[in-house]
Copies of this chain bind each other. A is one copy, B any other.
Amino acid sequence: MGIKVEQVLHMVGGAGETSYATNSRLQEKTIYRTKPILDNAIEEIYRTLLPERLVVADLGCSSGPNTFLVVSEVLGVVGELRRRLEQKPPEIQFFLNDLPGNDFNNVFRSLERYGKKIEEEKGELLVPYYVVGVPGSFYGRLFPCTSVHFFHSSYCLMWLSQVPQALESDRGVPLNKGNIYITETSPPQVVEAYQEQYRRDFSSFLKSRYAELSVGGGMVLTFLGRKKQHPAMGDLSLLWGLLAEALNSMASEGVVVEEKVDSFNLPFYGPSMQEVKSVIHDEGLFDLDQAQMLESNWDPFDDSEDDLVFDNVANGKNVARYIRAVIEPLIAHQFGDAILDELFLRYADNVSKHCLKAKTKFTILVIGLKRKD
């Protein structure tokens, strides 16, 4: 009966060629683009509360260089602001959270190196800070009541707490055969099951964070979503569709067991801004301060802003590499390690063929929330 996401989902650890740390440029670019929103939120919280100890939590910190980008950014904003306001330097406590399968050892062992870099960058504006790791799912409670001032999360909230349970019939027959996510051929029950799981998960997330935030606290959340109304429309459906296609071709050749493809579905959902707003509204715990939509090329190394495709083969390879860093443990859990290289070769090929047709883009939702008093 489905996978235990908490035990299986994690980015590829270490710092090797296929690791997440080496393949997270897409996520890095987005953090840079959301900087103004992050900066404003931190500024406002610090300015309003002027706490002696500021507590900041990054939910879904993963491992690698991005993990410390947010730490560095927050330190910069607070350091500069406390100087302007002529305040005594506060102490900042950073809680880095991810699922227990995350490579926290890698994060902790690189702490000293990043610490030196941050020290050099900030110079005299550096305020004392402390970094700790928090293992656990952000769909439940992670911190004591009112103990955190600010939550940040980037590229995580599109991961569900579990694969929706209603993706098979009462008699255990898979309903989303040949698919691993919502596509145009997915039956309505499948779409509803995903939507319902998203609604439940995001609602738990909001309730937990509300309990944990101190008065005056807030969050900035960035995640993949979609522009179109129907979940089967848009880039995510296509992205995973191309991976399903690679799996199906391997199944038809007998390299992969067909039943394993039929019963495999991603614990993933890219919501529309309307869906996001609707959950926030229904919970009634937060004011929506910011709601922005960004676009990003599939290929993390393609920084162009137009719709021209320069090198579709490179595009395919680059996309396959970072999707692999994100999803390898889930695939290996279902199909075994042996298929990985072949699968992602085929996937790269499918993506590059698609890129000849159109330059599809990710839709990234960025929301800023303030805790209601």
* Partner-B contacts on A (CB < 8 A): 6, 52-53, 91, 93, 95, 100-105, 108-109, 111-112, 128, 130-136, 141-145, 147
Contact = CB atoms under 8 A, between A and B. Distances in A.
Given A91-B144, A142-B130, A108 B112 contact: no
A95 B147 contact: no
A203 to B, nearest CB: 20
A104 B108 contact: yes
Nearest to A4: B112
Given A145-B53, A147-B93, A132 B134 contact: yes
B95 A101 contact: no
Nearest to A108: B135
Given A132-B134, A143-B130, A104 B101 contact: no
Nearest to A115: B136
A141 B128 CA distance: 10
Contacts of A142: 130
Contacts of A144: 53, 91, 93, 128, 130
Contacts of A131: 135
A301 to B, nearest CB: 30
A100 B111 contact: yes
A101 B91 contact: no
A335 B194 CA distance: 56
A132 B100 contact: no
A263 B53 CA distance: 44
6 contacts: A93-B144, A101-B109, A103-B105, A108-B133, A130-B141, A130-B144
Contacts of A128: 141, 144
10 nearest A-B residue pairs (beta carbon): A108-B135, A91-B144, A133-B133, A53-B144, A100-B108, A132-B134, A105-B105, A132-B132, A100-B109, A104-B104
A91 B145 contact: yes
A105 B91 CA distance: 27
A142 B145 CA distance: 22
B130 A132 contact: no
Nearest to A131: B135
Nearest to A103: B105
B95 A132 contact: yes
A91 B141 CA distance: 12
A207 to B, nearest CB: 15
Given A53-B145, A100-B109, 15 more contacts: A53-B144, A100-B108, A100-B111, A102-B108, A104-B105, A104-B133, A108-B133, A111-B136, A128-B144, A130-B134, A130-B141, A130-B144, A132-B134, A132-B135, A133-B134
Contacts of A52: 145
A4 to B, nearest CB: 10
Nearest to A110: B100
A155 B283 CA distance: 48
